[in-house]
Amino acid sequence: MEIERETVEEWGGELRVLHSRLRPYFVRSEARDRAIRYIQGLLSEVKRKNGWQLAEQAGESTPDGMQRLLSSATWSAESVRDELHEYIIEYMADADGVLVVDETGFLKQGVHSAGVKRQYSGTAGRVANCQIGVFLAYASQSGHVLVDRELYLPKEWAGDSLRREDAQIPSEITFATKPVLAKHMIQRAVANHIPFKFVTGDSIYGGDRSLRLWLEENRYWFVLAVSKAEPLWSRFEQRRADERAASLPVEAWQRLSCGDGAKGPREYDWALLELPRFMQDDDVLHALLVRRNLTNGELAYFVVFAPADTLLQTLVDVAGQRWKVEECFELAKDEVGLDQYEVRHWMGWYRHITLVMWALAYLTVTRAQAQPPQKTLNG
């Protein structure tokens, strides 16, 4: 998702549009103007998007103003996020859009940043001292962007009043699992009328039965990864995903691409095994989607809830959208400073991440204006 800086400059007028869109959410014009300069700094060639360098980019002699923007200035990161949803709907709305849930780690030193602890980070590929942010991405034919974020608060943090006070964690914030945080973000996307057809995510979310049942109850279609040991019901029988996949006949497999990668189409062998439920509606498909690696034969598993007439290629395409959030993380970290903040407090994290999401959306809209539309899920 490489974007030429000259292209960004050509679309500089859009930043003036952002200034107009964000004006109602800042009590003081000073904070509003600084927020726009913050976004401009995130979009600039500055190598480190921290307070000092963003201040220098904005022509300020000290980082105090940028620090106040993230700490004590009067503005609501939630309201600014909701306006981002309006912006995304205006430029990227797609009835076949896909919501993608995933998390990323933010490596940290020390023990004072809100929610930091030694925990597994997919970013590091190991247990590390880090914060974990759970994100919701939106993938459409116009591109893909991050649309919401939640900072994961571990149980030991949730119950420690002294650490909470030091990190300025609001009293109403309680412990919530990552799938619960994902549910909250999906609910906000629905409330803000972001159009989508499917939800996808990795096995942390697919393996949460409560999340799956909630999605089913609300008729939010999904293709969610699960582990090989995930117990899956069909009629009155419960069996592991890998045990069910073992019964697939040879002719069930089809070689299909789930999207383009850096080296061309991502081709795998795919098979779909229907898992009919007792008293199931005729217009609904419950199934296990299985992916087989062409090189080593390794299997991956996805639980499916979809309209009964959904094509296998469509389900494969939805499963492939999971890579879109990884691309969002990569671009946001490499280009607009997603992980380069120097704040410890709860509100500072949300404010920085929200402005980063605006910068990423701006880049994505710019790219969509400069290039032909991407392939939709229906071809």
Confirm if 164 and 346 have CB atoms less than 8 A apart.
no
Q: Which two tokens stand for residue 82?
A: 């909701």
What secondary structure, in 3-state letters, does 116-155 show? CEEEEECCCCEEEEEEEEEEEEEEECCEEEEEEEEECCCH
pLDDT band, residue 377 (cuts 50/70/90): low
Q: Which amino acid is at 320?
A: G
Q: Where are the domains of the chain?
A: 5-370
Q: What is the mean pLDDT of the chain?
A: 93
Read off the pLDDT of each residue in 341-351 and give the average, rounded to a whole number. Answer: 97
DSSP string, 220-286: -EEEEEE-TT-EEEETTEEEEHHHHHTT--GGG-EEEEEEEETTEEEEEEEEEEE-PPTT--TTEEE
Secondary structure (3-state) at 107: strand
pLDDT of the residue at 254 = 98
Per-residue pLDDT tens digits for 180-204 = 999 999 999 999 999 999 999 999 9
Read off the pLDDT of each residue in 61-72 and give the average, rounded to a whole number. Answer: 95
Q: Which residue has the tokens 């994505």?
A: 364
What secondary structure, in 3-state letters, does 68-93 show? HHHHCCCECHHHHHHHHHHHHHHHHC
DSSP string, 255-267: EEEEEEETTEEEE
Cα–Cα separations (whole angstroms), residue 85 to 7, 189, 272 = 23, 8, 34
Confirm if 233 and 277 have CB atoms less than 8 A apart.
yes
Confirm if 54 and 41 have CB atoms less than 8 A apart.
yes
Q: Which amino acid is at 349?
A: W
Q: Which two tokens stand for residue 136?
A: 């919701």
Q: Is 304 exposed, middle or buried (0-12, 13-18, 19+ CB in 10 A)?
A: buried
Which position has the higher pLDDT, 11 or 265?
265
pLDDT band, residue 2 (cuts 50/70/90): very low
Per-residue pLDDT tens digits for 237-295 = 999 999 999 999 999 999 999 998 878 899 999 999 999 988 778 899 999 999 999 99
Task: Say whether pLDDT at 22 is over 80.
Answer: yes
State the pTM of this model.
Answer: 0.93
pLDDT of the residue at 47 = 87
In angstroms, the CA 326 to CA 322 distance is 7
Please list the helix, strand and coil fractions of the chain in percent, rounded to the nearest 5, in that order: 40, 25, 35
Q: Torsion over CA of 211, 216, 219 and 224, rounded to 10 degrees? A: 60
pLDDT of the residue at 204 = 97
pLDDT of the residue at 367 = 77
Q: Which residue has the tokens 């098979």?
A: 271
pLDDT band, residue 375 (cuts 50/70/90): low
Per-residue pLDDT tens digits for 213-228 = 999 999 999 999 999 9
Read off the pLDDT of each residue in 298-309 and give the average, rounded to a whole number. Answer: 98
pLDDT band, residue 8 (cuts 50/70/90): very low
Q: Which residue has the tokens 């004072």?
A: 112
Length of the chain: 379
Domain 5-370 homologous superfamily, CATH: Transposase Inhibitor Protein From Tn5; Chain A, domain 1 (3.90.350.10)
Q: To 5 degrees, how large is the angle CA 272–CA 241–CA 299?
A: 70
pLDDT of the residue at 3 = 44
